Structure 1
């Protein structure tokens, strides 16, 4: 897509990045710095996959040439999501608020979808570079010399038991956020300053287009085919217009009363049904207890069950090996909406393949944000 209006800001950004970045304006004229992601085929990722466009580039059956992803985790100005550098990302935002800040910008704007996130994660994996990021209180756990610009006057000691506190209302929280895009090139998805920043850590990011209902996996699409139909409504406990993948997240063990740090025994597993709900006693009273964790790369399927290929295409199932220690958190009761990337305290569990499916849409926290995307319609 070529933009005919070349204002000074857009010209400067496009010239500096060789066209990899641009500036888009919403319906009130607010600017956002965006990364242009060109279309690629599934077979470009794995030659055994179909030679079809990745689902991120199919919208309501229409094949599109490129998508525009916020270069930075978003802030909110005038009720609209903006992608701007060197900002404290918007946090304390639930799913519906995040989605609303994006759609308020005008036609084509939307909360980044899981299909779009997956396309970028798979591209990184195929190209042999998984971005580092702020996953260790301002630094990367595997490269402590890599730092972003701190937001608060917290003390970086690399000692989890000696971190400074920030007063946040009546509560005290460990805060390790850094300014958007303030890290080195290795914190961008393509290992250059012109990529997408902070997909590994800093704050979790809500994404649209994926949800669990009592463990069953639903995605954007039509006719049983995954697509990037970002205008699909995402109402509580409503799957009208969504693709039923026929796959569930189940547990490797039956109900369990052993609990440490809110995690119950067993691991998430892909299954054709849900046999073992992940709660300790009663899902109506175990408000925060009853989730399971496994490294994303270690996720397996129940013996005899072959999950649909779309789960790999959408980075819900590992596409192969070499994904690092990125984590997968799952609850398989109630409605659960996805968070991706991890936050500043997750260490090796954060990363571009990290996926959290244990949150209700009402969840809001100091390490939870989002980013917008744009597709011309």
Structure 2
């Protein structure tokens, strides 16, 4: 964590007139050097002063996502539909990016905080004493009713729901026939994600990094020239390496696995058969054995929908005056 990066829980009104409970990460001008700025704040060759992430998995109100407590999260929505819906919130609003999600994971890691969540039909599979408020027989839980241990930093100002309840679509990461590709910095945070991203191949010493499922039932991280066309899932601790002595730094940077992956029971899935596999992150209410905030599935197509996949909107601000409005005690600002 950079000491010049601050955070605060705020309420922001979007262009549809909906209030949104957000965690704002911000940097005051003059307090940092450009080379020290986290990728979170780097968007299309600019450094923005603030990025806000929905505190809660989003519900849907008249076709517009909103981050509100005591709500049922929206599910059964495709990747492209989720991105388009977030764009309807106004300038700077977007479907949460992989860079943003991983920033929260890394902050938790640096704090020594394990993010809990609903991974067992309403409760935490690793600690049954922790539970949310269920609203259906399936075990899904309402937003805003979680214990503090379920926020990304263990505080009320943090982001909730990253672990369990619903998987979440994120932009800016994919598999292209098994090859890991990403958008640099936080460039995926484009309004409505309407621009075609510039995909960059993740490389290790000039060789493309790949993920695939093999016929033995493993997920393999590889830089081999030829890989199997298959899909599979496993605990991260069971990940196999091929033509690699260790997990490369780019895999940590993209949040494919954590640094302590050899002890991580969260699941990792990869499909090298599809032309494009887009990510869902964070596990769901029925992820009893493979759940965790770092869980990652790279085997969904853009058009896929599921009753355990939801969405989370985020917002970037380019105007410091908007940030100062939000910092005023008890203020609700428009963005």
Q: CA RMSD in A?
A: 2.6
Q: Contact 1:245 / 1:308 at 8 angstroms: preserved in 2?
A: no
| 1:360 and 2:284 correspond | no
Runs of 5+ consecutive residues of structure 2 not aligned to the other structure: 1-5, 28-34, 319-335
- In the alignment, which residue of structure 1 is the partner of 2:12? 24
**Residue in structure 2 matching 1:200, options 163, 174, 182:** 163
Q: Structure 1: how far apart are the matches of 2:246 and 2:7?
A: 41
Asked if structure 2 preserves the Cα contact closer than 8 Å seen for 1:250 and 1:332, the reply is: yes
- Report 1 or 2 for greater relative contact order, CA contacts < 8 Å, sequence distance ≥ 6: 2
- In the TM superposition, what whole-angstrom CA distance separates every residue of 1:67-104 from its partner, at most 9, and x where no partner exists? 10000000111221100001110001110111011011
Q: Does 1:231 align with 2:156?
A: no
Measure the CA separation in 2 of the matches of 1:322 and 1:107. Answer: 41
Structure whose CA Rg is larger: 1
Partner residue, 2:249: 309
- Number of residue pairs matched? 302
Checking the alignment, whether the CA contact within 8 Å between 1:299 and 1:318 is kept in structure 2 is no
The residue aligned with 1:89 is 73
5+ long unaligned stretches in structure 1: 1-17, 40-50, 155-174, 257-263, 279-290
Q: Which residue of 2 aligns with 1:293?
A: 233
- TM-score scaled by length of structure 2: 0.82
Q: Residues 240, 197 of structure 1: CA spacing in aligned structure 2 closer, same or farther, 3 A cutoff?
A: closer
CA distance in 1, matches of 2:232, 2:75: 25
Alpha-carbon offset, residue 63 of structure 1: 2.2
State the distance in 2 between where 1:354 and 1:241 align: 25
1:324-363 deviation per Cα after TM superposition (whole angstroms, max 9, x unaligned) = 3111111112211000000001124222211010111111
1:350 is paired with a residue of what secondary structure?
coil
Instruction: Please state how far the C-alpha of 1:228 moved relative to its aligned partner.
Output: 3.3
**Residues 30-66 of structure 1, C-alpha deviations (whole Å, 9 max, x = no match):** 1111011246xxxxxxxxxxx7433222111222333
Query: Given the alignment, which residue of 328, 338, 348 partners 2:279?
Result: 338
Kindly indicate whether residue 227 of structure 2 is the aligned counterpart of residue 275 of structure 1.
Answer: yes
Distance in 2 (alpha carbons) for counterparts of 1:349 and 1:320: 16
Q: Which moved more, 1:208-217 or 1:51-60?
A: 51-60
Mapped to 1, the partners of 2:78 and 2:85 lie a distance apart of 11
Report SS of the residue matched to 1:122. helix
Distance 1:309 1:266, change over 3 A: closer
